[in-house]
Structure 1
Amino acid sequence: MAAQMTRPAALSSVSRGRLVVCAATAVPKQFKAVKPVGDRVLVKVDKEEAKSVGGVLLPASVRNKPTAGAVIALGDAKAVKLSDKVIYSKFAGTELEVAGEEHVLLKEDDVIGVLPSTDKVAQLKPLGDRILIKGAKAEDKTAGGVLLATDSGEKPTFGTVIAVGEGREDEESKTVIKPNVEVGSTVMYSKYSGTEFEEDGEQYIVVRESDILAQLA
């Protein structure tokens, strides 16, 4: 898919100076199917991109790990269905190798959203209480008019709401509580929250409603 997913700065695979490598659990060959239990879903992971945009072969250590795939089995999950193309949290779930193919077993709440057939993040359907935001452009000048280097511009933490999930289920009443944010509104969100994407030169982020700090008018 065209969109690039960036790794949150607060998360790291380095522990006490050592790189932690999480290998997928191989399902024994005599088992041909995996049936998720509870609200879990089984996703067949998209293939990794082995080449850069210029066609240069990338070593495995620098390839972007896919965080998208197709739902091939599910338990009692309600928000997704078989064959849905989904995006999920990068460090969520249990990685499985089934018949030589990479899969991930996820809780439904770890699924960020469902992609349309176009694979465009701008048309993503966020799940639960998540909200899809198109990021505002970074300022390229200081208040005094000094031109800033590209990497020194202050990263905006506000943008326009593109899509809103159907809401989260209240544990006691079992009713769905819809996010109190409307499509088209401009919002400010917590600086290190959410999952970021870049597509066609635009920045997008999916955050939970609890990460929205304020609406701007």
Structure 2
Amino acid sequence: MKLLIADDDPQMVRALRITLAAHGYDVVTAADGAEAITVAAQESPDIVLLDLGMPRLDGVEVIQGLRGWTMAPIIVVSGRTGSADKVEALDAGADDFVTKPFQIDELLARLRALSRRAQPASGETGESTVRFGDVIVDLATKTVTRGGSRAHLTPTEWRMLEYLSRHPGALVTRQDLLKDIWGSEQVSDSGYLRLYMSQLRKKLEEVPGEPAHLLTEAGMGYRLVL
């Protein structure tokens, strides 16, 4: 699996390159935002590790540029700790946010979570499409339509809907979703799941405030009712 590490800290890049290569990853690097977009176009990485504070183009601008043509998972690795920075990066299309300094085991766990390919497991539906209301979720092509028109989801919104769609009718706990989306059931919710569920309802429910399909099970998690 090919990783692009985009960071203007040469010591950080060197350390990550050595460690991740030792774990079997094919690593390419970029030292600024503009180079990150160029290398991504040339190398087509499977996952991007991206710093926010880079010269030429900052991390959010890089995310926006990448999201114009690729859905490869993006993990922001940054020393910025403010919630506004995290929200801005996630809204731009990032899939995860890791704050420096971090434990390499945590980063590896998040990489494994993002690199998993959708394979139906025990309890998952083997259907390639799931329908509820006027919504069609195509698990094979990773597209969603509502009333015949394409619904545009962020990468994280898609993964949340995909997980629910692979377990229709079943209770999906917050821990299940946190582990699937961010790679660890120990990750703090911080309201992110509620935020993404609210966004999904606005895009897919007839009456977002009174959902008929994307339901909250108080104190437990969520359920997709077909």
Higher relative contact order (Cα pairs below 8 Å, separated by 6+ residues)? 1
TM-score above 0.5: no
Shorter chain as denominator, the TM-score bin is under 0.3
Give the greater-gyration-radius structure (CA): 1
TM-score after normalising by structure 2: 0.25
Query: Larger strand proportion, structure 1 or 2?
Result: 1
